[in-house]
Amino acid sequence: MIIGGTKALDRLDEPATAQDDPVLQVEDLKAHLHFGAGVVRAVDGISFTIRKGETLCIVGESGCGKSMTALAIMGLLPKPAGRIVGGRAVLQGVGDLARLTTKRMREIRGRAVSMVFQEPMTSLNPVFRVGWQIEEAIRVHEKLSRAEARKRAIAMLDLVGIPSPEERYKAYPHQLSGGMRQRVMIAIALACRPKLMLADEPTTALDVTIQAQILRLLNRLKSETGASLLLITHDLGVVARMATRVCVMYAGVIVEHGDVGDIFATPLHPYTQGLLASIPASRGGGERRRLNTIPGIVPSLANLPTGCRFADRCPHAYERCRKEEPPLAEPRDSSNGNEAQKVRCWLYLDPQRAGEGTLWRNA
């Protein structure tokens, strides 16, 4: 399969072998935004586990709840509207992040879990030198002298591949390119060697060449530091290169979850199939084809439909789909042998319709 012009198996680096120890366990997490009488169910009961050394990718369209999931885990939901209303996010050695006080979360954030945001220019302080900002992240969590923290900050700039790190230490964010600013954000995120790093669309604003460099850097640093990575993206090419496992998210819920090889080889949910079919064909010698699209838009998270949230866009929805929301479970038709793969679709879970999703996929 060709993904964005790159073979799905042509990975930037082989991911570190995942250990059995769960670094993060998210169980039925719900994060809602409250506006007057309305409620936006941005994250509406999602569950997943990230093990030591692995990369879990959350993929989906804009507005499906990917970024809100990361913000909920980090304790950065917009206040006062955003709040966690249910579920748990248990970080190894720390406990349930959803139950920590604001003060305790500040102590954890940056030391045990850190985040790289999509646009570094809005995350870095424009009036402070980048070296000082790395140094500050270190001194907040570790009892180091100013000289020791400065030495560590310069070492981090060198680690993330910024040339002349002692000179760049003195630079302001506007004096660096977009790729260098993102490297600075990664340096800040890894400065205290957290066990888990979250990256929210870290390459979206960068050109293709710089994107590849940043992805290689994330993979290398993850292997060197032993950190686990939760990567949020809408780019299936990034998923193919980076992921160990994949969660496909739609309208606040996970609709499919499995190993990256299974997701690309045998996508089950109609939404996952639609995403993969929407990728432009390779420019090689293959036959040209019309670009497929998924009709419609993601429903409003403040006014979700009854039943399956994808039913209005699915060409194979039937009566039960519009009345009853399916659970996320292993398909009844397990002939593909992917026992770990789970799907939220009646085409696989309804005993009267089991297997029809497979027929549609192969059509």
pLDDT-derived band at 284, boundaries 50, 70, 90: low
d(CA 52, CA 73): 17
Token digits for 339? 């026992």
* Residue 4 or residue 182, greater confidence: 182
The predicted-structure confidence for 168-189, as pLDDT tens digits, reads as follows: 999 999 999 989 999 999 999 9
Average pLDDT, the chain: 87
Tens of pLDDT, residues 243-264 = 999 999 999 999 999 999 999 9
CB burial of residue 59 (10 Å; 0-12, 13-18, 19+): buried
Between 353 and 255, the more confident residue is 255
CA distance 44 to 41: 6
Dihedral angle computed from the Cα positions of residues 309, 314, 317 and 323, in that order, rounded to the nearest 10 degrees: 20
Contact 253, 344 (CB under 8 A): yes
**Most distant CA atoms of the chain, gap in Å:** 69
pLDDT at 2 over 50: no
Mean pLDDT of 330-339: 61
Residue ranges of domains in the chain:
123-193, 269-361
* 11, pLDDT greater than 70: no
Q: Give me the mean pLDDT over the 104-126 stretch.
A: 90
* pLDDT of 289: 66
Q: Please give the average per-residue pLDDT across 305-326, as a whole number.
A: 95
| Mean pLDDT confidence for 100-123 | 90
Q: Taking a C-beta distance cutoff of 8 angstroms, is the pair 118, 200 a contact?
A: yes
Give CA separation, 21 vs 29, 90, 222, in Å.
20, 12, 16
